[in-house]
């Protein structure tokens, strides 16, 4: 088993438990919409290009809506659970872990944290280390932030490499806001789940306010 497979399985178990009509942290999506998105991503490469927006976003929405309307929810969950089809790029050796570990971690939390009385879950040291390593992506996601951003790993671990730093410059600019949290919480914050992520932001009042407004 890989971290991506663990998250995939846990998400499918949760979706099966709560059904297709529960809220998620993805604006405008219920659990059925999220399931259709994940199936589209791995099974419909013709529509996948519009997942991140752009000129094909309308076609992607159409395909996703049709998947949800025409596919029974248990079938959608089964398609997610069994993984990508053999000819999908996601089925290439090692690709599932590289491309899906963060994707499925975040979407698992999208469902968990939208439910009543949710609580942060414990992640293993191995998962925390991998999430921290993947946070290098924050340099791309935060490249247009109005202030500098430093991510600080607040669990005190440096990962597998004892020489690794627990601070990551995501946006080199002044003034700087420091965002501190566990790798799981920093991942969610970086991926736009700012209201649900349990992080601490330190900096001048104006800089913190500017960053909050930009990430809202």
Q: Using one digit for the tens of pLDDT, what is the confidence trace for 47-57?
A: 777 777 777 78
Q: Distance (Å, rounded) from C-alpha 171 to C-alpha 157? A: 22
What is the value of pTM for the model shown? Answer: 0.91
Spell out the domain ranges in the chain: 3-112, 127-215
| Angle, helix 31-43 to helix 73-82, in steps of 10 degrees | 50
* CATH 3.40.50 is the classification of domain 127-215: no
CB neighbour class for 93 (10 Å; exposed up to 12, middle 13-18, buried from 19): exposed
Please state, in angstroms and rounded to a whole number, the distance separating the CA atoms of residues 188 and 64: 24
Cα three-residue angle 214-111-117, rounded to 5 degrees: 95
Instruction: Give 161-213 pLDDT, tens digit per residue.
Output: 444 569 999 999 999 999 999 999 999 999 999 999 999 999 999 999 999 99
């Amino acid at each position: 088993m890989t971290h991506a497979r663990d998250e995939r399985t846990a998400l499918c178990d949760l979706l099966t438990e709560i059904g297709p009509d529960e809220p998620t942290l993805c604006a405008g999506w219920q659990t059925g919409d999220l399931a259709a998105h994940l199936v589209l991503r791995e099974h419909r490469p013709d529509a996948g290009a519009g997942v991140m927006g752009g000129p094909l976003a309308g076609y992607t929405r159409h395909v996703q809506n049709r998947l949800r309307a025409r596919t029974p929810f248990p079938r959608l969950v089964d398609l997610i659970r069994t993984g990508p089809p053999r000819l999908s790029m996601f089925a290439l050796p090692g690709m599932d872990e590289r491309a899906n570990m963060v994707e499925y971690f975040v979407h698992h939390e999208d469902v968990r944290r939208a439910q009543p009385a949710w609580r942060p879950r414990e992640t293993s040291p191995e998962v925390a280390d991998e999430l921290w390593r993947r946070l290098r992506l924050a340099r791309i996601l935060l490249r247009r932030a109005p202030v500098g951003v430093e991510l600080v790993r607040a669990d005190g671990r440096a990962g597998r490499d004892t020489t690794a730093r627990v601070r990551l410059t995501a946006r080199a600019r002044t003034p700087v806001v420091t965002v501190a949290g566990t790798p799981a919480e920093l991942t969610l914050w970086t991926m736009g789940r700012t209201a649900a992520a349990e992080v601490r932001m330190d900096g001048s009042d104006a800089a913190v306010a500017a960053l909050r407004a930009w990430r809202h």
